[in-house]
Structure 1
Amino acid sequence: MPDGRPDLVYYVAVSLDGRIAAADGDFSMFPVEGDHMAVVTGRFRDALPAPALAAMGLTPALDVFDTVVMGRATHGVGVPLGLLSPYPHLRQIVVSRSAPPVGPDVEVTADPVAAVRDAKRRRSDADIWLCGGGVLASTLRDEIDRMVLKVNPVVIGDGGRPLFAGPGPDRWTVAGEESFSSGVRVVDYRRAR
């Protein structure tokens, strides 16, 4: 955010083979215990859903993210549990061509590029979080300024949902990397311009 405008940051867990979930959307193979969780619950706690924040007694800082953009399927993970507004502490934008069930404080758009560009035009001390998934990331590929990948020590294999579900290539540079005894690496990439 060098010019005072927010970046679009693709912050997501990924396997060693570049998958963000199994073919059926399951992401339970990513470890939720270990020393890497200090980054998740500390620096990136803005990206925790409200029930997780409440269960851990945490409050969002809103200094990393103040907006979340997610696809219909990503948002839909919580719908069967009645979680129609998973991140009420953030401005929530769900990308869908239909009218999915959402909370009253959740925006729905069929044009993610326009929504992200509009969000980038505002002055903010916090960035925009691209929550997922790979199809949406491909649609927003040219808008993504940074990727923060939680690279997990698992292989999902063919059929898993890819980090990007479309053509490339893009060039990225490593801005920072942390390795943990849990086997997870958190890698911060910046778009090479």
Structure 2
Amino acid sequence: MEKLSLRGFEIYKDLLDFEAQQVLLTAMREVAKGAPMFSPMTPYGKPMRVKMTSAGKYGWVSDRSGYRYSETHPEGMVWPDIPNEALDIWHRVSGSRQMPDSCLMNFYGENARMGMHQDRDERDFSHPVVSVSLGDDGLFRIGHMERGGSTESIWLSSGDVVVMGGDARLTYHGVDKIRFQSSRLLPKGGRLNLTMRIVS
């Protein structure tokens, strides 16, 4: 494992070996069985390019009413519990004594991306966000606390973990593209990104 720092983001390269990735993937597939993946609609009426679901007390949803956390899936069921395999990662790297109450799971297909954004729908920004990459490589881009200006990018591979905390907590970031079928973890290709956070 190698630990890097990029604009305040702590990046743990290869924190999870292949076996640990497989175990975590199996656990998250169980989450998706209880709360099926869906394609969120933006408030502007356009579908997002990623599919997503959540675990924990809160899940993130989006529709014409706006972006928000909800205690129920769009189909009405409560979200499954966050798997212990994910919580173990939180304990290893977050530095927080409080448990996350939300774990978002985004799936990136061959042409999916995530535009530059801030994670600012949570109540208390003193808590970090912990991001776990599974599957294909993703080009992760980091900007500033305000829109615009220079950016830096790094390829995140399966098993990499990123911690956004402190001064980096409200930094703009996004995923520009993936290297489709660059990982053998997901036989059909694609990238799964888990983000654990404390919402309330």
Q: TM > 0.5 between the two? A: no
Higher strand residue share: 2
Identify the structure with bigger relative contact order (alpha carbons < 8 Å, sequence gap 6+): 1
Higher helix residue share: 1
TM-score range, shorter chain: 0.3 to 0.5
Q: How does the TM-score come out when normalised to structure 1? A: 0.32
